[in-house]
Amino acid sequence: MYTLRNEQAKDFVATIEQVAQIGYTGIELAGYGNLKSAQECKKAIDDAGLVVCASHTIIETLESDLDRVLDENEHLGNRSIVCPWMPEQRRQDASGWKQAAESLTKIGAQCNKRGFVFAYHHHSFEFQRFDGKTGMDILIESADPNLVKLELDTYWLVHGGVDPLAFINRVGERVVLVHLKDMADDKEQRFAPVGTGKLKFGPILQASARAGARWGIVEQDNCYDTPPIEAVRTSFNNLQKLDAL
């Protein structure tokens, strides 16, 4: 739903109805749009015949108000909580990444006690090096692998100079969710609907399935001049051609 953030801010109900009409079976929440509560959101999702596969919540809220977040997601029927971003001031050096890993592990432990899976969603800044190790290396090594899983993002792996297949094979069952996001074959490295750029999604989906990933989630940070609903429709149709849905 991050792709459709502007649309859901105007009319969440109408937006997810369009998502369901395209053929999607689930959504990953990025807030409730113009709705005011988890209760309203749950009714809209049920009415549309969808399920919540995961939900993004910023780390500050996870650290300060986790019980409320888990209560709301329990009501929504969602069991996957994702931290979508690490603020810049917390990732300036190796020490910052170690502290971030400690915080994520604490959050993951609380999630685990209540039956939730907790994952961290990366961008490409995690692959900056500090004394020979990337931020991602430090995070993977320092955070408890049983409590802090990963939501991989195909575009951001490539943007960070990392081969998606090699990375999936490296982290294995730690992968629980995968953002399916293409990269245009141009100098600007623009975001693109799945199947219209240079990533090879067949092998990526196969490797993700072998690792045990639960959901592949279409996301496109910027759709440029294309209406976002049409971009996610194109991604859906191209994934169907791969027998991925």
CATH number at residue 189: 3.20.20.150
What percent of the residues of the chain are helix, what percent strand, and what percent coil, each to the nearest 5? 50, 15, 35
The strand pairing partners of 50, in sequence order, are none
How far are the Cα atoms of 152, 180, 201, 202, 237 from residue 240, in angstroms, in the given order? Answer: 21, 13, 11, 11, 5
How far are the Cα atoms of 39, 63, 141, 161 from residue 123, in angstroms, in the given order? Answer: 31, 20, 18, 11
Residue 117, pLDDT above cutoff 80: yes
pLDDT in the model for residue 244: 62
pTM for the model = 0.97
pLDDT in the model for residue 245: 57
- Strand 80-83 and strand 26-29: the pairing is unpaired
Round the average pLDDT of the chain to a whole number and report it: 97
Token pair 């709705």 is found at 35
Band of the pLDDT at 243, cuts 50, 70, 90?
confident
Q: Considering its fold, how many domains does the chain have in total?
A: 1
Q: Which domain holds residue 19?
A: 5-241
DSSP state of 173: G
